[in-house]
Every structure is written in structure tokens, then in C-alpha cells.
């Protein structure tokens, strides 16, 4: 259902508030550059620091700008099942094409608790659901047996796998079937994830290189190994550089270099340090990314 390069959108801020013109321009640019889908209000979008009204407004604005040209998968997860249902219901009403729902953080539910959480959301809202499994942030790891049980539900269609474990897609395919959508949640392993049976990536890199990330995925589908390897190697340093400090600080700095938005974040996150900026600058140079890239005049994939 969902495949290719899907951007985990940053949320531009200006003077502490959402920078709506920058957000709309970013979304439009992403679509123009050939991205395969967009995820507003995810972790990269700083959802923990958004009010409910801001969260819902971002999802609505993204849907309105996209106009069904690519899928919009709204981040609607919460460690409160009731809150996750409310956010997912709004995403459905706003016209989103799916919901990305993270495993409940901090509460540390059992595997059975995970099943009940997702079943409750599934029963409450008629929208395709992608499970977001990210043990590094949520402490818990949904095992493949639990995922297989949830995959039996008709509207639970896939997973964003941020475990970094490249044996996981093989295990997930064997338990959930080939139709269960598997999207990598780690840019650095995204190319290898495809070789292990994955269908795409929900990417941080594509905030600043949507054309390149889309071209990488297209090359894989088309069997164009030469192009695939070229872009893979161009983007590889960014897979490390954009996570040298807490996401999304480095990618917001990179976006500011391209003139897409400011590098402002909401506390407790801080802008990228001078050391991180130097690392990002080097990775961007390796990828051939510069200010001209932000208006489509230059492309590392070209």
C-alpha cells in the first residue's frame, strides 16, 4: 500500500510558533521533487512538543497542500490509547491516507498490552494503520509474533521498522506475509532493508534530499543497480550525520542551509552544536547538496 521514499516531515518554527509559509513551501517542494509520501507530526516533526490544536492543524494543512498527489500518513501515536484514538480520528476526518502509530512509550506495556492498544485504535477508526516500532525511543520492542497477530486485522497494513535489525524484515515477511508493508525507519540501513524484503523508507534525509531519496527507491524497483549504488553512496554520510545529535536538530540545521526554514527547535531540544554542523556540512557536500537544491535547480541524483 505504502512504498518508496516517504518523508518524516520536520515542523518549521519561527519565533517559537509554527512557520506556516515555510511548512507549506516544504510540503509543496517535496511533492514537486517526486517524493512518494509524507508523514507530518511524527517524531521528526517534534510531535511531543506540539499542542493538540497544533498537531491537528499540521495534519490538516499537509493534506490540504498535497491534494492527494501522494499519500499522507499522519503521526497519531500516543502512550494513551484514548489520545491515540482521538488523534487518529482527526487524521481520518482531515483526509489523511493512513496513520503512523508508535508503540506506547514510557508505560512499557506487555506484548498483550500492545495488541489491545492497536486493536482498540483499529476498531475505533477506519483508516490504514502503520505500526511504528522504535525500541530506542520507546524502550519496548514489538516482537514479530505480536506483529503477526496484529497483521491479521484488515486495517493494520504495515510497520515502520526502526529497530536497525536487518534480520527483522525477513522474519516479519515469514510471519506477516509479503503483502504486509515494511518501511525502514533508519536511513543508514534503508538500502539494505530493501534487499531484505522491505518496501521503502520513512526518511529524515528526504527532508533535504527528496529527489535523491525517491530516485534511490525508484532505481531499486527498476533494477538499475548502477544508479542505486551511486545515490546510496552519495547519501550514506548523511545517514550518520543527521543523527550525530538528537533528531531533528541536525536535519533542521541542514534545512536552514538550504533556505527551507530556520533551525529553531522547541525545548528541551537545542539547535545543532558547532561540531554537529561541521559534520552535517561535510555530509551535505559529499551528497552534492547546497542552497540551489532547495528550489529544484540542483540535484545530487542528476
Q: How far apart are CA 229 and CA 238, in angstroms?
A: 15
Helix axes 249-257, 274-287, angle to 10 degrees: 60
String of DSSP letters for 136-185: HHHS----HHHHHHHHTSTTEEEEEE-S--TTHHHHHHHHH-TTSEEEES
Q: How far apart are CA 33 and CA 210, in angstroms?
A: 6
For residue 118, indicate whether it is catalytic: no
Cell readout for 239 is: 545517514
Residues 241, 251 contacting (CB under 8 angstroms): no
Task: Count, in order, helices (H) and strands (E) of the chain.
Answer: 12, 10
**Annotated catalytic residue, options 92, 149, 160, 252:** 160
Residues 22, 260 contacting (CB under 8 angstroms): yes
Q: 95-133 burial, b if ≥16 CB within 10 A, otherwise e? A: bbbbbbbbbbbeeebeeebbbebbeebbebbebbbbbbb
For residue 160, indicate whether it is catalytic: yes
Residues 14, 22 contacting (CB under 8 angstroms): yes
Q: Is the dihedral of CA 230, 301, 287, 191 positive or negative?
A: negative
**Annotated catalytic residue, options 3, 118, 132, 253:** 132
**Residue 79 burial (CB count, 10 A):** 16
203: part of which helix (H) or strand (E)? strand 200-203
Q: How far apart are CA 219 and CA 18, in angstroms?
A: 35
Residues with catalytic function: 132, 160
Amino acid at each position: 500500500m505504502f512504498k518508496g521514499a516517504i518523508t518524516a516531515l520536520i515542523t518549521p518554527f519561527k519565533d517559537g510558533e509554527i512557520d506556516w509559509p515555510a511548512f507549506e513551501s516544504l510540503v509543496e517542494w517535496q511533492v514537486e521533487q517526486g517524493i512518494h509520501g509524507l508523514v507530518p507530526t511524527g517524531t521528526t516533526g517534534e510531535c511531543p512538543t506540539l499542542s493538540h490544536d497544533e498537531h491537528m492543524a499540521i495534519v490538516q494543512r499537509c493534506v490540504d497542500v498535497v491534494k492527494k498527489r501522494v499519500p499522507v500518513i499522519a503521526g497519531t501515536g500516543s502512550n494513551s490509547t484514548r489520545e491515540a484514538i482521538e488523534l487518529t480520528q482527526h487524521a481520518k476526518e482531515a483526509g489523511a491516507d493512513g496513520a503512523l502509530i508508535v508503540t506506547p512509550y514510557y508505560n512499557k506495556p506487555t506484548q498483550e498490552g500492545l495488541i489491545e492498544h492497536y486493536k482498540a485504535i483499529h476498531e475505533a477508526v477506519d483508516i490504514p494503520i502503520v505500526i511504528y516500532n522504535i525500541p530506542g525511543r520507546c524502550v519496548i520492542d514489538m516482537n514479530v509474533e505480536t506483529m503477526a497477530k496484529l497483521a491479521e486485522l484488515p486495517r493494520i497494513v504495515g510497520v515502520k521498522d526502526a529497530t536497525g535489525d536487518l534480520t527483522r524484515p525477513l522474519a516479519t515477511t515469514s510471519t506477516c506475509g509479503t503483502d504486509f508493508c515494511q518501511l525502514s525507519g533508519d536511513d543508514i540501513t534503508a538500502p539494505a532493508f530493501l534487499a531484505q524484503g522491505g518496501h521503502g523508507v520513512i526518511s529524515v534525509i528526504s527532508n533535504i534530499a527528496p529527489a535523491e531519496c525517491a530516485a534511490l527507491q525508484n532505481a531499486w524497483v527498476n533494477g538499475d543497480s548502477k544508479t542505486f549504488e551511486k545515490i546510496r553512496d552519495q547519501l550514506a554520510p548523511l545517514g550518520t550525520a543527521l543523527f550525530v545529535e538528537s533528531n531533528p536538530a541536525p536535519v533542521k540545521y541542514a534545512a536552514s542551509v538550504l533556505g527551507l526554514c530556520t533551525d529553531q527547535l522547541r525545548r528541551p531540544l537545542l539547535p545543532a552544536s558547532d561540531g554537529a554542523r561541521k559534520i552535517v556540512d561535510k555530509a551535505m557536500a559529499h551528497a552534492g547538496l547546497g542552497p540551489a537544491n532547495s528550489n529544484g535547480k540542483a540535484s545530487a541524483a542528476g
